[in-house]
Amino acid sequence: MGSKPLNRRALLKNGAALAGGLTLGAAAPASGGQQTADHHAPPSWPMIKGDKDMIAYGDRSKYVTSVRIAHPVGGRPSPDQFGLTFHIATPLQDSVGVITPSSLHYVATTRGAFMPDIDPKQHRFMIHGLVDRPLTFTMDDLKRLPSVTRLHFIECAGNRSSRAAKNVQQTHGMVSCAEWTGVLLSTLLKECGVKSSAKWFVAEGAEEVKGASSMPIAKAMDDCILAYGMNGEAVRPQNGFPLRLMVPGFEGIFHTKYLRRIKIVDRYYMNYNDFGHLDQDAKVAALEYQIGPKSVITFPSGEQQLPGKGFYEISGLAWSGGGTIKLVEVSTDGGKKWNKAEFKGTPQRMAFTRFGYQWNWDGSETEILSRCTDEVGQVQPTRAQIAKYWNKPYDQTFSVPGLDNSVQPWHIASDGKVTNGFA
């Protein structure tokens, strides 16, 4: 820690700015320009004493208070009175970069669930069905095999903005991105020898409901990962410890947690989750597997307060189940003019891409939006564009068919208050 007064003042300033980004309540007073700090006596901070726990496994600052919330607002609580978890949304408004900390990763369960407390030494993973050699692996076995480490997002099918949602955690918080490490499923399938009659595979978890989904064998051979690592450590229990299936770009429910078994089969197995994917309309059914191109501005976003006109770097996240993000555009005038945003880092396939756009706000009321284009040419639409495609009137009864990847408008009032443009 610097001991010179100058450094301390810089630290204080940065600290205030950081707090503004992290906790909304603190933003307005801290950035009002009138610092109350005594210039003659730089504050002497209390010292954090290292204790055994903190040495063993570090904590964040007590001033960083960003937390997950039950989703959706007014919906089923997590935990409920029995300690069951249902849906929990990540605080995107506080996110920086592209990695969601494991502690803040969104969580969804197919129904309210306890987490299985699995001893990894006892855990087994089996591949069988239409293979030449069924195989069972221990976790140690899996860690001997060639591994991959990749950034991938996961998004819940229920991640859709609504008029009732007030901030980006409520509108978009059921998506997260982590660095996943594990073995490619294709590596194991080659080890087992897949028969030519294989068309689908069923992945199944070891939790109480033994969640199972059917997926195309082409996806298994393409890029699915049996992940044991997440953000540099073991996958967390809420995210499927000790082993979870990553199905990059597919909707969240396919990313089977507590993975214990994969069966190679010749048909769609029509388990409960599969039944949930059935639809009357083939077009809607097609839009309920792979996540579409999607982006959202995380700063400034709903419930935040701009202290006044002037410079802001608009910041946000873009992702697509179709692959790499190729372009992000930002509009600061309600969608009349679109401007190319800057990528922070190199976009990766089925991963968050952080974007920025430098903006001088003139202090007048406006709406800011972002849209993205992915490597296969899919463009993120507005809800009005989607309604037009489906030949439906765009009014308050309109619901986006399939997964909702529509553009999120943030309204900025002349007093700097940011609100949901759908409200």
Footprint on residues 246-285 left by other proteins (CB under 8 A):
260-261, 263, 265, 267-272, 274-285
For the bound state, the minimum distance from the C-beta of residue 229 to other proteins, rounded and expressed in Å, comes to 18
Query: Using CB under 8 A, which residues numbered 146 to 165 contact other proteins?
Result: 146
For the bound state, the minimum distance from the C-beta of residue 119 to other proteins, rounded and expressed in Å, comes to 17
Query: Using CB under 8 A, which residues numbered 176 to 215 contact other proteins?
Result: 188, 190-196, 198, 202, 204, 208-210, 212
Interface with other proteins, residue 135, by CB under 8 A:
yes
Closest CB to other proteins among residues 93, 373: 373
Residue 348: enclosing H or E segment and its boundaries?
A: none
Interface with other proteins, residue 287, by CB under 8 A:
yes
For the bound state, the minimum distance from the C-beta of residue 278 to other proteins, rounded and expressed in Å, comes to 5
Cα end-to-end distance, the chain, whole Å: 46
Please name the residue ranges forming H helices in 37-87: 52-56
Closest CB to other proteins among residues 281, 362: 281
Query: Are residues 259 and 374 in contact, defined by beta-carbon separation less than 8 angstroms?
Result: no
Query: Are residues 200 and 266 in contact, defined by beta-carbon separation less than 8 angstroms?
Result: yes
For the bound state, the minimum distance from the C-beta of residue 144 to other proteins, rounded and expressed in Å, comes to 6
What gap in Å lies between CA 132 and CA 118, rounded to an integer? 29
For the bound state, the minimum distance from the C-beta of residue 117 to other proteins, rounded and expressed in Å, comes to 15
Both tokens of residue 1? 């820690």
Closest CB to other proteins among residues 21, 182: 182
Q: Residues 310, 364, 389, 413: which binds other proteins (CB under 8 A)?
A: 389
Query: Are residues 171 and 110 in contact, defined by beta-carbon separation less than 8 angstroms?
Result: no
The residue type at 294: K
Query: Are residues 124 and 138 in contact, defined by beta-carbon separation less than 8 angstroms?
Result: yes
Q: Residues 10, 67, 96, 376: which binds other proteins (CB under 8 A)?
A: 376
Interface with other proteins, residue 392, by CB under 8 A:
no
Query: Using CB under 8 A, which residues numbered 65 to 94 contact other proteins?
Result: none
For the bound state, the minimum distance from the C-beta of residue 401 to other proteins, rounded and expressed in Å, comes to 10
For the bound state, the minimum distance from the C-beta of residue 73 to other proteins, rounded and expressed in Å, comes to 20
Interface with other proteins, residue 166, by CB under 8 A:
no
Q: Which residues contact 250 (CB under 8 A, 6 or more apart)?
A: 215, 219, 289, 290, 291, 321
Strand partners, 85: 113
Map residues 99-128 to x or -, x wherever contact with other proteins holds by CB under 8 A. Answer: ------------x--------------x-x
Interface with other proteins, residue 216, by CB under 8 A:
yes
Question: What number of other Cβ atoms are within 10 A of residue 153's Cβ?
Answer: 26
Closest CB to other proteins among residues 95, 320: 320
- CA angle 226-230-235, nearest 5°? 75
> Judging by DSSP bridges, how do beta strands 310-319 and 294-299 pair with one another?
antiparallel
Question: Which of 330, 328, 326, 337 is CA-nearest to residue 359?
Answer: 330
Both tokens of residue 53? 């726990």
